[in-house]
A and B are shown apart, each in its own frame.
Chain A
């Protein structure tokens, strides 16, 4: 969808982008990351011709971007910037509807689209349509910025540290919302950030840049598992093993869980320990098959019984959702002091379990020292 061919950009006497070549596939999120001054924003701006390359070319859908009129090109590419840049004199609806207005949609279609987008980003149109940017919180303004970029339904979205100016708590919410949105919309997204966690959370591919060059271009898990060089290793940090867990979803790594009813659990309580072999955690469910408690295996080999007494559980505290990351699962496991945590759905039903041993195993495969 987007291809860089030996692109060089000189800025004053310096080389901001130094013969960069890479490509971004349709419907993927490609995150450009690196320390400030590494050329990531410059690279981004070469795509919609906010900047022109000194040499080399950028292709969009196989055509050089230089072959389009800049304005024409930009109207087909959504653009979100860190400082949002909402027009202060326009209402939320006017801001969102500006690109459709530039490309001359009729008013009724524009209004429909605006409301649709506000719904999409989780702001009630009736309440927000007439508000002005000065009346919005940072997070709301940023959502409107995203809606504005999506207004004319462009296939490509450029995002330059879009959540950089938002406080950490809201930033995470915005990231998760954006990830969910992207699963629906399947845009080709080029995303610039200096926040590694953000990159891991959102990226299909990560491009790590330094001094205008690409150091590594790979899937996030791969970058964390085997950094290409010392700089990348330092950049991703000593806790890269932990960060890498954020790349995996619980749903892909859960195992079958053993569930029993409350009545059955009474019988199992008398089960002899035998030779002290492996016993799984027994998740106890009620009539609706929702998690209510558990029987935890006895770890003391000399104990005559296999299981400890029944423990009541709060599903929300113990269980993880299939869409959660293994990092979150690990955090639950450590927090609860268990060998595994149940995977539950919205109704509290047990879908499976994530085991500490599996996480350890996953961690050992792939990670290079």
Chain B
């Protein structure tokens, strides 16, 4: 009999989550500000939530710590997931309620979440994901569990519980601007991905079909990817400004050194690599024997495309489009620097004004947008993938 000893079943991820969660007890939960530019006064958890909430969170931390030594069976897994969820919900609700109390009656007062809150959120993420990723559940259950924290935040936002938060206040003062910049962001990344798909798919096919083209095509798209995005946006300014000056036609089309045109070109160039690579791969995975068999059975070129190549290739090409869309949504934030607009506008405004809350207000929708688009395209791809080709979940 082997003595398994203490720690034989140690789940390092859970332990990490528990250790991170202790930070919520040791560091300030939020900072109270009398107005937008005032220095914040740190507020600790016991002060914000009182004895009961502090006790609950301490209990959750302790439970997570103890459970990290338990064998990772299903019941333990769900216990950890629940602990993570409870931790998150308690933190957000406490933040909102005590924040509202703190700013009550003061017109410009607001609160900013601090280390204690953010690390606590990270800890709950670690606890939930660490157990969920190995749980034997379907895609649907997994997606629903992942959605719960977002739902909690949405409900609290709608109920006005989080109104005292500085980013939310920043939002209220810019509501209409926010909507138009969100539109611009979607338009810029959407058009860039569309353009990249329309050029990238043929390029990938060309690279696969013509040996001569393979190296130059990949050298080019890989090369673009190595240029820092800021530099690429900058590089667009000079040549486009020159062209715009020399050719009035272009100017009348709105093409200038700054604004949409250079942003779209740069974003499109960035979006190319995943599309080209996956278009190339999609053909490379179709084995020669399959083509040979189809041809030998009397398929015409069009039938080969319809029955064999498209069903196998399309999901793989779409996976490339998915990666490049997520990338483009991130890159579009930088495009605000050259006057193209988008949610990056708030980020750079915030940076310029030394207002981190404004930065957060710009960043959070970008992150949510990326996650949303990524998951939706994942579902589309899963639906389009023929059952025989379905492997590991994406």
Contacts and interface: CB of A to CB of B under 8 A. Distances in A.
Contacts of A75: 297-298
Contacts of A83: 287, 289
A77 to B, nearest CB: 8
Contacts of B386: 89-90
A87 B313 CA distance: 13
Interface string A128-170: 0000111000000000010011000000001000000000000
B298 A89 contact: no
Contact of B388 (A90, A101, A148): A90
A90 B300 CA distance: 18
A134 B391 CA distance: 10
Contacts of B287: 83, 85
A200 interface: no
Interface in B298-347: 298-300, 303, 307-308, 311-312
Dominant secondary structure at the B interface = helix
Interface residues of B, number: 22
A86 B294 CA distance: 9
Interface string A76-119: 10010111111111110000001101100000000000000000
A48 interface: yes
A350 to B, nearest CB: 48
Interface stretch (A66-74, A281-289, A313-321): A66-74
Contacts of B303: 102
A2 B94 CA distance: 86
B289 A85 contact: yes
B291 to A, nearest CB: 8
A99 B297 contact: yes
B296 interface: yes
A299 interface: no
A242 B290 CA distance: 39
Given A81-B289, A98-B307, A87 B296 contact: no
Given A85-B290, A87-B307, A88-B312, A134 B388 contact: yes
Most buried by B among A86, A102, A149: A102
Contact of A89 (B289, B291, B388): B388
Contact of B296 (A81, A88, A132, A134): A81
B389 A79 contact: no
A163 to B, nearest CB: 15
Interface residues of A, number: 32
A185 interface: no
B299 A132 contact: no
A311 interface: no
Nearest to A70: B298
A50 interface: yes
A74 B308 contact: no
Interface in A290-346: none
B389 to A, nearest CB: 5
Contacts of A148: 297
A149 B291 CA distance: 15
A148 B294 CA distance: 11
B215 interface: no
Contacts of B290: 85-88
A86 B389 contact: no
A50 B296 contact: yes
A98 B388 CA distance: 16
A73 B298 contact: yes
B318 to A, nearest CB: 15
A81 B294 contact: no
Contacts of A134: 388
A88 B290 CA distance: 8
A71 B298 CA distance: 4
Nearest to A132: B388
Nearest to B311: A89
B292 interface: yes
Contacts of B140: none
A88 B293 contact: no
Contact of B297 (A74, A82, A132, A133): A74
A158 B303 CA distance: 21
Contacts of A98: 297, 307
B388 A91 contact: yes
Nearest to A90: B388
A85 B389 contact: no
B289 A84 contact: yes
Contacts of B298: 70-76, 99, 102
Most buried by B among A89, A148, A149: A89
B75 interface: no
Most buried by A among B287, B291, B296, B307: B296
Nearest to B312: A89
A133 B295 CA distance: 19
A325 B386 CA distance: 46
Interface in B257-300: 287, 289-300
B4 interface: no
B211 interface: no
Nearest to B295: A50
A101 B299 CA distance: 10
A81 B388 contact: no
Nearest to A45: B296
A74 B304 CA distance: 14
A79 B299 contact: no
B210 interface: no
B133 interface: no
A87 B312 CA distance: 9
A88 B289 contact: no
B139 interface: no
Given A71-B300, A99-B298, A102-B299, A79 B388 contact: no
A86 B290 CA distance: 6
Interface string A37-74: 00000000000101000000000000000000011111
Given A84-B289, A87-B290, A79 B297 contact: yes
16 contacts: A48-B296, A70-B298, A72-B298, A74-B295, A75-B297, A79-B296, A81-B292, A82-B289, A84-B289, A85-B292, A87-B294, A89-B386, A89-B389, A90-B388, A132-B387, A148-B297
Interface of B: 287, 289-300, 303, 307-308, 311-312, 386-389
Given A50-B292, A85-B290, A148-B297, 9 more contacts: A79-B293, A79-B297, A81-B292, A85-B291, A88-B312, A89-B311, A89-B386, A91-B387, A134-B388
Interface of A: 48, 50, 70-76, 79, 81-91, 98-99, 101-102, 132-134, 145, 148-149, 158
Return the 7 tightest CB-CB contacts between A and B, nearest first: A85-B293, A132-B388, A74-B298, A75-B298, A89-B386, A79-B296, A83-B289
